Structure 1
Amino acid sequence: MSDWTAADMPRLDGKTIVVTGANSGLGFEGTREFARKGATVVMACRSVERGADAADDLRATTAADLDLDVRECDLASLASVREFAEGMADDYDALDVLCNNAGVMAIPRSETEDGFETQLGVNHLGHFALTGRLYPLLTAADGIDGRARVVTQSSGAHETGEMDFSDLNWEESYGKWKAYGRSKLANLLFAYELQRRVDGDADPTLRSVACHPGYTDTNLQIRTGEASGNPLMKVGMRVANAVLGQDAATGAEPMLYAATADVSGGAYVEPGGLMNMRGHPTVGRSNDASYDRADARRLWEYSTDATGVEFPFDE
């Protein structure tokens, strides 16, 4: 069983790391540990106000001088993603690590600003567009070990996902948990396909690594309960978090490990404890559907068309 913790991360002085959803939960704890090790952490948040409050909290509760840069990035808006990336290009020469961490879970059907079903739009398409737009900064970086890294946060719920390309945006029918599972499967298809396409370059410039946090006590579950409109579900989520969930600091470890440890591109980092839902990080394997290359290529083509974002190796 793994005993790796955030204390085992190397120093990250001079490194720049973007964390989406950095103002709460896994992103908040990941930001703390990256910055504690000396990195400049760009906190990409939907709400700048909440991001600034989180940065103040981190500085007040961490015994270190943290270098934090709070910026607006609403993954439900392709325009916001573009503006965030343009601002990064104006102010930074390189980006060593991108953590595609933010997400929504099992919410009633709604659509993003661009007309995508929100879970697919935020969890996958927003991060696809963000990665593509930040790609020049990633390829300009020294990274952790000579290559930049893209870390994409999935979930054990990917095992319930199914790619139905005839109705990706759930316009014909909608199941909130099935939609969440599909978005998390899409995260993995993207992460592995990105690595395959990078490997096809004559000079591979980054590593794409996927991870999942296990069952972790964060406000993601609470927001799911609130969005359901069912008070009993909200109470149930709180009880489940208290009884089953590990703390957010431990839940952030797979992301930290994927970003900084010696892992191969295309790896899948997960908790190494009970049913891979608790404990310290280890390299594991996601389900067979996540390695379906035909689905991955089809999703990539759809995502390129839907977002209008092309990666350099696709041009």
Structure 2
Amino acid sequence: MWLRAVLLPILRVYYTGLRVILQQVYGRRAFSLPVIPSQNGKVAIVTGGAKGIGYSTAKHLSSLGMHVIIAGNNEAEGSEAVTRIQQDTHNEKVEFLYCDLASMKSIRQFVQIFKAKNLCLHVLVNNAGVMLVPERKTADGFEEHFGLNYLGHFLLTNLLLKTTKESGTENLNARIITVSSATHYVGELNFDDLNSSCCYSPHGAYAQSKLALVMFTYYLQRQLSEDGCYVTANVVDPGVVNTDLYRNVCWPGRLVKWMAARLFFKTAEEGAATSIYASVAPELEGIGGCYLYNGQKTKSADISYNEDLQRKLWNESCKMVGIPGSA
């Protein structure tokens, strides 16, 4: 039991990370963003936009002229990020709004404040996340990887969906971008224990949350298409990126990261490229339900395409966050 629940996820996650690093070293490490036309008049929300991949995403969208709202749980980091982006892009339409994705109450308050601004929402980037944290619960009692990485974004997306639908048009669809990772390939959904309360494994919990994000995106896109909405939903894989997300990795892992990151990991800017591409590239206009890596459509894990499991996950998630079971 312990072997399968704890040791096996560790081996799977690190094997996946090593495989991606080797691809980055011997294959195409990153792709160059094409020339993107001005995005003046558009509004974007980027969760976790105060640092790392989220910061690079927010900064680039701001440089294209978008009104960017950084959603995060650290006021000081958020204010500093806003100042730096405004100075670097000469775009004053950058702001920070507090949103703790580990708290359903905080998410609802964020949405209420955002809607009071009477803004459109053309791009939502579900970027924030935690990785390999010790066993702990969110404010609502959910395991933190599942509760913050997945359920927090699940609720946020659904609460903003009406505004997103109203913002999209036939010629200019609104876009929902969700950041997953290659660890979803080794993730398993345990519907009897989504909270990972039995034999907790941070590696297994992290991989599960990333798999859930992929399946959520596919199911959301199918509902949007069936409803004829001018909104697309895609999921992106940034690769192995040199950010502080690795602070909870075991000390041998941190040592390897310290030694290898500059040579073999992507920079935050490189990691953000696919998120930016999915958010604004004309080539993806009207295209949803894709898993994107290095700017290319890529096949995700076989299980992620299981429509019955997607539906089951969606319905269970609705119960957990307390919303109706339909997008």
Q: Is this a same-fold pair by TM over 0.5?
A: yes
Partners of 1:297 and 1:286 in 2: CA distance? 17
1:1-315 alignment, distance < 5 Å: 5-6=32-33, 8-60=35-87, 62-142=88-168, 145-201=171-227, 203-221=228-246, 223-225=247-249, 228=250, 230=251, 232-261=252-281, 262-263=283-284, 264-271=287-294, 281-310=295-324, 314=326
Identify the residue that residue 275 of structure 1 maps to in structure 2: none
Question: In the alignment, residue 29 of structure 1 is paired with which amino acid?
Answer: S
Partners of 1:240 and 1:166 in 2: CA distance? 38
Indicate conservation of the 8 Å contact 1:132/1:310, yes or no: no
Distance 1:178 1:144, change over 3 A: farther
Could you report, residue by residue, the CA deviation over 1:33-78 in whole angstroms, capped at 9, with x for unpaired residues? 0000000000001112210011122233x25334201000100000
Indicate conservation of the 8 Å contact 2:187/2:204, yes or no: yes
Distance 1:235 1:59, change over 3 A: farther
Partners of 1:91 and 1:162 in 2: CA distance? 40
Question: In the alignment, residue 293 of structure 1 is paired with which amino acid?
Answer: E
Distance 1:143 1:96, change over 3 A: farther
TM-score normalised to structure 1 length: 0.89
Partners of 1:48 and 1:235 in 2: CA distance? 30
Q: Give the root-mean-square deviation of aligned CA atoms.
A: 1.9
Partners of 1:3 and 1:59 in 2: CA distance? 26
SS in 1 for 2:46: strand
User: Is the deviation greater in 1-10 or in 34-43?
Assistant: 1-10
Question: In the alignment, residue 193 of structure 1 is paired with which amino acid?
Answer: Y
Indicate conservation of the 8 Å contact 1:36/1:66, yes or no: no
Distance 1:10 1:4, change over 3 A: farther
Indicate conservation of the 8 Å contact 2:30/2:266, yes or no: no
Aligned residues: 297
Structure 2 unmatched runs, 5+: 1-27
Partners of 1:144 and 1:2 in 2: CA distance? 35
Shift of 1:95: 0.4
Shift of 1:292: 1.3
Partners of 1:144 and 1:47 in 2: CA distance? 37
Partners of 1:65 and 1:40 in 2: CA distance? 8
Question: In the alignment, residue 287 of structure 1 is paired with which amino acid?
Answer: A
TM-score normalised to structure 2 length: 0.86
SS in 1 for 2:167: coil
The percent identity for this pair of structures is 32
